[in-house]
Each structure stands twice: as C-alpha cells, then as structure tokens.
C-alpha cells in the first residue's frame, strides 16, 4: 500500500503539502513522508500520525521561540541545572534549587539571592533558572550590576531615565549578576534603588553577590541606600548561601597562597521589620540618620 493510496491519491497528498506550505509548517512538511511510511507499516494509527506531524512542527517553533527569547534576555551563555555539579557544593540543598525551578517565585514576584565566593556557582544557578523561565514562557533579562547601573546613568544624562526604568521593569524575571565585584559609580546606588523600587512586588528578581548583606553599604556607597535596597529586596525573598570553594579553581587550589584564600561569607539574618516610628538616632553614631 502506497502513501498515495492511504491518503486518497496523489492529489490529496499534494494538497496536504500545499496546506503545510501555506501554513508555514516546514518541519511538518519535512516529516510528512516519514510519518506516512510509519502509518503504512501499521506502526502508528491515523490519530497518532496527526499527533506526530503537529508535534514535529511545534518542537521546531518552540525551539525558535526559546532561542529568540534567550537572545533578547541576553542569556547568551547557556547554563542548565543538569549541568550543575551539586556534589561539589554540599552546602546546597538540591531539592530547594529544584523547587525554585518550578518558578513559583516568579509568579509571586519574589527575589532570590545567591550569595557566595567567586566560582561557587552563583551565576550558573541564576542563568539556569533564567533558562527554565524562558522555556516556560516567562520573559527574562540578564545583566551585571555594572551594566545596569551604567545604562541607568547614561539614560539619566540623556533625559530618558523613565523609559529605561520602564524597559527594565518589563521582564517577568530580572537577573542581576556580580553585585559587589566592582565598585558602583557615584549615584549608582540611588539609580539601582529606583529600579528595585519600581519592580518591588511587581516583578521577580535573581541577584548574585560575593558580599554579605552587612557589606552592602560599602558596595552601594552608604548605609542609607543599602538599607533602603535591602528593605525591599528582603521583604519577599529566598536567600541561598553557598559555602563551598571555587569550582573553577578546584584543580589548582594548592597553588593559591593560604593568606589569599577567600573566607566563606557570613551573612547575619536580616533584622525583623518594625512597625511604627523608627527609634531616634543616637548623636554619637555617625552612621545613623536623624
């Protein structure tokens, strides 16, 4: 029995091909002959043949969508959760990370913090969660803190700050990498606060940092802006602390002098949020605001 006999003759098969071309379904057109041969041999039913044909096309289109979304989101270096070596970082709860991969935190507009020393896998996990979000149809944007602050400062100079903030608020998930690696430019802390404040309870974020929260005053140029940032970034937050050493240097750790080896981050839990008026500042403390 030929494919033409199965489908009612050559004319019917030609029309199917024309339909697939008109509907812009190149993958289905390419797979048509193979699926018809399986149907001839009795390996699949007619309903399964239709399912296979549409499935081939959907797979192609989904792959294109994901590729385009990754490019728009600046996720050019692809990292996956399956490619992460959890055995090298025993301080990490694998089940907790897999729970984050279900993306409920995105829907709840929460902030995920990955804290740890350079090379421990913070960026890998952040990107991997971003990839999972893209696959699930969420919009994602990835950038370093330096890139974000630089773009905000440029927009402020050009009088387009509001538009830039609006652009950075569009993605359902914003990933900010490398907090604490480079000094923030003057006024950068205030600009970043405007972004955080604009996204607060409206969009999810993932932040990676090699500095504990108690050091964010040094990162952002003062305790006032750091406290304001943490007030929002820790309100609906998941904090993941990675205590392990650098994965990149795992084969050369013995070459690093003892006095230059990085100590684990110790991050005290954030103080509970108080209701009512804040306590009066003590004059003797120069770091406290009146």
Q: Are residues 215 and 171 in the same domain?
A: yes
What pLDDT sits at residue 230? 97
Residue ending a domain, among 14, 49, 72, is 72
Q: For residue 216, give both structure tokens.
A: 């964010």
User: Residue 8, SS3?
Assistant: coil
User: Residue ranges of the chain with pLDDT lower than 70?
Assistant: 1-9, 244-290
Residues 165 and 102 in one domain: yes
On whether both 109 and 179 belong to a single domain, the answer is yes
Per the domain annotation, does 277 fall within a domain? Answer: no
Question: By the 8 A CB rule, do 13 and 4 touch?
Answer: yes
Query: What is the CATH number for 95?
Result: 3.40.50.300
Q: Which of these three, 49, 72, 95, is where a domain ends?
A: 72
Residues 138 and 243 in one domain: yes
Asked if the structure places residue 287 within a domain, the reply is no
Q: How confident is the model at residue 258, as a pLDDT?
A: 55
Residue where the block lists tokens 């993932």: 206
Residue 284 located in a structural domain: no
Give this prediction's pTM.
0.79
Report if residue 78 sits inside a domain.
no
Instruction: Say yes or no: 64 and 21 in one domain.
Output: yes
> Which of residues 72, 97, 128 is at a domain's end?
72
Q: Please indicate, yes or no, whether residues 122 and 42 belong to a single structural domain of this protein.
A: no
Question: Any idea of the CA torsion for 122, 124, 130, 132, to the nearest 10 degrees?
Answer: -120
Total structural domains within the chain: 2
pLDDT at 123: 96
- Are both 67 and 90 inside the same structural domain? no
Residues 64 and 91 in one domain: no
Residues 90 and 25 in one domain: no
pLDDT in tens, 25-76: 999 999 999 999 999 999 999 999 999 999 999 999 999 999 999 999 999 8
pLDDT at position 288 is 39
Within a domain: 290 = no
Environment class of 146 (CB within 10 Å of its CB; exposed 0-12, middle 13-18, buried 19+): middle
Q: Which domain holds residue 8?
A: 3-72
**Is 225 within a domain?**
yes
Q: Is 271 inside any structural domain?
A: no
pLDDT attached to residue 273? 52
Same domain? For 145 and 17 the reply is no
Based on the domain organization, do 97 and 48 belong to the same domain? no
Q: Are residues 17 and 111 in the same domain?
A: no
pLDDT given for residue 22 in this prediction? 96
* 268 domain-assigned: no
pLDDT at 10: 81
The Cα–Cα gap between 33 and 13 comes to 10
Structure confidence at residue 26 (pLDDT) = 95
């Amino acid at each position: 029995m030929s494919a033409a006999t199965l489908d009612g003759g050559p004319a019917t098969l030609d029309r199917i091909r024309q339909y697939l071309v008109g509907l812009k379904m190149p993958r289905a057109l390419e797979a048509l002959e193979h699926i018809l041969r399986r149907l001839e041999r009795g390996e699949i039913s007619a309903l399964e043949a239709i399912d296979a044909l549409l499935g081939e096309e959907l797979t192609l289109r989904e792959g294109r969508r994901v590729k385009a979304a990754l490019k728009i989101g600046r996720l050019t270096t692809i990292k996956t959760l399956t490619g992460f070596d959890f055995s090298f970082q025993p301080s990490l709860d694998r089940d907790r990370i897999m729970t984050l991969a279900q993306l409920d935190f995105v829907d709840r507009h929460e902030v995920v913090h990955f804290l740890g020393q350079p090379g421990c896998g913070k960026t890998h996990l952040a990107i991997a969660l971003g990839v999972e979000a893209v696959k699930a149809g969420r919009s994602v944007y990835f950038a370093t803190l330096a890139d974000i602050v630089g773009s905000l400062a440029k927009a402020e100079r050009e009088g387009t700050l509001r538009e830039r903030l609006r652009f950075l608020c569009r993605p359902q998930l914003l990933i900010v990498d490398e907090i604490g690696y480079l000094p923030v430019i003057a006024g950068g802390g205030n600009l970043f606060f405007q972004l955080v404040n604009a996204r607060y309870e409206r969009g999810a974020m993932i932040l990676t940092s090699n500095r504990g929260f108690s050091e964010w005053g040094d990162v952002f140029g003062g305790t006032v802006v750091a406290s304001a940032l943490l007030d929002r970034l820790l309100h609906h937050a998941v904090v993941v602390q990675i205590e392990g050493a650098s994965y990149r240097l795992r084969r050369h750790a013995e070459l690093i002098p003892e006095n230059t080896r990085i100590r684990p981050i110790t991050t005290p839990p954030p103080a509970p949020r108080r209701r009512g008026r804040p306590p009066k500042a003590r004059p003797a403390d120069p770091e406290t605001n009146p």
